[in-house]
Amino acid sequence: MKLSGRARGISPSPTLSVDARAKELAAAGERIINFGVGEPDFDTPEHIKAAAAEAMARGMTKYTAVAGTLELRQAICRKFARDNDLTYRPDEIVVSCGAKHSLYNAVQVLAEPGDEVIVPAPYWVSYLEQVKLAGAEPVVVKTRAENGYKLIPEELSGSLTPRSRLLILNSPSNPTGSIYTKEELAAIAEVAVRAGIWVLSDEVYEKLIYDGAAHFSIASLGPEIKQQTVVVNGVSKSYAMTGWRIGYAAAPAPVAKAMADLQSHSTSNPTSIAQAAAVAALNGPQEAVAEMRSAFAARRTYILERLNGIPGINCPTPAGAFYAFPDVSAYFGRRWGEKTISSASDLAAFLLEEAKVAVVPGIAFGNDRCLRFSYAASLEEIAEGMDRIAAAFGSLR
């Protein structure tokens, strides 16, 4: 069967694949601890669910404007003003079926064959595939552990060519948890403005930051950078709403219009009922966000302590998101039965097989020395998973 070159070139989301494999093993009766997929384990707060039920009851079951209801876009504008010191009009906002869809639309309207898109590594799994789907070329720039895996201005300048079109920035980062400071963002913005490239700023983990860290949107650092930035955010992570599929983008009006026009031929509007829920999430009480954040903070402290208790592992403290991303290369060269462990991918396979713990190999994020542990799980589960992992690592000779 001949599929298009586009389809042939695509690889499935490795995070979702690890999750699917873990669920398959669990369905077959294995007791799997799942540190694989990045998804809050909390339920969506009640007042948000109630808003959806109320929307359904009042008949909000029809198509809406493609870019989202005016009510939701206004709520998003208020959120940007309140949290990010950013002023947008509703015609600069496009609501999509998850932040992943917002990112997809943005890449599709900004990049084309012949363009280079700069993607700092470690990167989130979908960026490269989305760039390739637009026919553009990803230029992966390896960042350094000693810089907290953050792109420094010299690395950005060094990767620019006349074909550079777009930089994809993710702060707080999945998988490293790194957060760019305001000064670091300003330095990146200066290079981007000078080079005249677009910035796609993925800020979906904005609300999940710890130890008093602050989140800044690069778009808020001046009118010039704002004019060449698309900010992406969503409700999946902040409000435990992954299944509702609501993400949004803010961009200069012509870009927002192009994204909405593109969307008008694929999904049309995101689900009307989920949009009503998102209005309640953004306009309603924010206590649940703080509660989830403090639960994540406790889990982070715990998993770091456990990871750092394993000989040879020294895990950097992630400032945000809900992932730990330790370098496990101290275990390369050890024997697992007949095999010699030579990559983090081997270790991920080993942990799934021997410890029944699912983690995502770093290669999914462009780094095969690290493993990603999602700690969006209960403390009890983290404890059991870490007991198993410590025992499994301890058994490697």
First to last CA, the chain: 46
- Which of the choices ligand GLU, ligand PMP, none does residue 13 contact, using the CB cut-off of 5 to 8 A by kind? ligand GLU
* Number of Cβ atoms within 10 Å of the Cβ of 135: 15
Pick one of 51, 125, 168, 235: the residue that binds ligand GLU (CB under 6 A). Answer: 125
Query: Which range binds ligand GLU by CB under 6 A, 10-18, 77-85, 285-293, 295-303?
Result: 10-18
Give, in degrees to the nearest 5, the angle at Cα 202 between 258 and 62: 50
Cα–Cα distance measured from residue 384 to residue 33, given in angstroms and rounded to the nearest whole number: 8
100 or 300: CB nearest ligand PMP: 100
Tokens of 193: 């403005």
- Does position 96 interact with ligand GLU (CB under 6 A)? The reply is no
Q: What minimum distance in Å lies between the beta carbon of 295 and ligand GLU?
A: 18
User: How far is 74 from 51, CA to CA, in rounded Å?
Assistant: 17
Contacting residue, 84, 108, 143, 174, with ligand PMP by CB under 6 A: 174
Q: Which residues in the 181-210 window bind ligand PMP by CB under 6 A?
A: 202, 204
Residue numbers 161-190 binding ligand GLU by CB under 6 A? 174
**Closest separation between CB of residue 9 and ligand PMP, Å?**
21
Under the binding rule (CB under 6 A), the answer on residue 16 touching ligand GLU is: yes
Determine which residue in the list 14, 247, 270, 362 makes contact with ligand PMP, applying CB under 6 A.
247
In the list 35, 38, 79, 184, the residue contacting ligand GLU (rule: CB under 6 A) is 38
Shortest Å, Cβ 322 to ligand GLU: 10
- Scanning residues 286 to 315, which ones bind ligand PMP (CB under 6 A)? none
Q: Provide CB contacts within 8 A for 122, sequence distance 6+.
A: 143, 149, 173, 175, 176, 325, 362, 365, 366, 367, 370
Contact status, residue 118 vs residue 168, Cβ threshold 8 Å = yes
By the 10 Å C-beta count (0-12 exposed, 13-18 middle, 19+ buried), 20 is classed as middle
Residue 99 touches which of ligand PMP, ligand GLU, none (CB < 5 to 8 A by kind)? ligand PMP
Residue closest to ligand GLU, measured at CB:
38
What is the SS3 assignment for 297-324?
A: HHHHHHHHHHHHCCCCCCCCCCCECCEE
**Cα distance between residue 138 and residue 177, in whole Å:** 22
φ/ψ region of 179 (left if φ > 0, alpha if ψ in -120 to 50, else beta) reads: beta
Name 361's bridge partners: 371
Among residues 176, 178, 220, 236, which is the contact residue for ligand PMP, using CB under 6 A? 236
Contact residue for ligand PMP among 14, 36, 38, 362 (CB under 6 A): 38
β-strand pairing of 357-358 with 33-34: parallel
Nearer of residues 119 and 313 to ligand PMP, judged by Cβ:
119
Q: Which residues would be at the binding site for ligand GLU (CB under 6 A)?
A: 13, 15-16, 37-39, 100, 125, 174
Q: Which residues would be at the binding site for ligand PMP (CB under 6 A)?
A: 38, 98-100, 124, 170, 174, 202, 204, 234, 236, 242, 247
